[in-house]
């Protein structure tokens, strides 16, 4: 049996390595990641994970794994910042308050059955000064990241509380991922 990782994220590859798993193939899913009108963050994250998994080709001896990380403040979904102004607005919104990092995983087994799981992690940033926000944006670290931050880097020093899956905030909740891979018959290292 072979594993296809439907993601080009080096973080997801590294996290899989912590489970002793190396993907046999990496595929880039091409999907529309815009939320549907009125779509709630949990539903959105699970939908994207499954759509990403279904968007890549799969041979009969392959299983596919895909994930999505969504940052939510209430019902509001914070995607990747479009520019510095958007990034600044996101960090101001997250400053001093808690939010949810929803990390969804989907595994499609050899029979074509899709199974999904969701890790909901509560994250609280310290109250950020304008200088801290500007310095973080200038670092470039949060560009291209959901919610505009990367917990595995400088943002770790700005987070006052984390309750849930640290690996989920990085990009792949390992407990949920392991359970789905075992259910799909994937041998773990």
Catalytic residues: 68
| 1 CB-near residues (< 8 Å, 6+ apart) | 61, 62, 63, 110, 185, 186, 187
Query: Which residues, 6+ apart, have CB-to-CB distance to 178 below 8 Å?
Result: 19, 188
Question: With contact defined as beta carbons under 8 Å apart, do 78 and 132 qualify?
Answer: no
Helices in 55-170 by DSSP H: which ranges?
A: 84-94, 130-139, 166-170
- The two structure tokens encoding residue 9: 């994220």
């Amino acid at each position: 049996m072979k594993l296809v990782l439907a993601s080009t994220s080096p973080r997801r590859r590294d996290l899989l390595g912590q489970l002793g798993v190396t993907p046999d193939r990496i595929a880039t899913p091409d999907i529309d990641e815009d939320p549907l009108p009125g779509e709630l963050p949990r539903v959105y994250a699970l939908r994207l994970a499954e759509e990403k998994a279904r968007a890549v080709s799969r041979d009969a001896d392959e299983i596919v794994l895909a994930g999505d990380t969504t940052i939510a403040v209430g019902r509001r979904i914070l995607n990747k910042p479009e520019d510095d102004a958007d990034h600044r607005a996101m960090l101001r919104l997250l400053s001093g308050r808690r939010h949810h990092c929803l990390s969804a995983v989907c595994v499609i087994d050899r029979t074509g059955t899709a199974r999904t799981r969701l890790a909901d992690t509560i994250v609280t940033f310290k109250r950020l000064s304008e200088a801290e926000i500007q310095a973080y944006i200038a670092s470039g670290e949060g560009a291209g990241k959901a919610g505009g931050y990367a917990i595995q880097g400088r943002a770790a020093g700005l987070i006052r509380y984390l309750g849930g899956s640290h690996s989920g905030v990085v990009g792949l909740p390992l407990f949920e991922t392991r359970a789905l891979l075992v259910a799909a018959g994937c041998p773990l290292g």
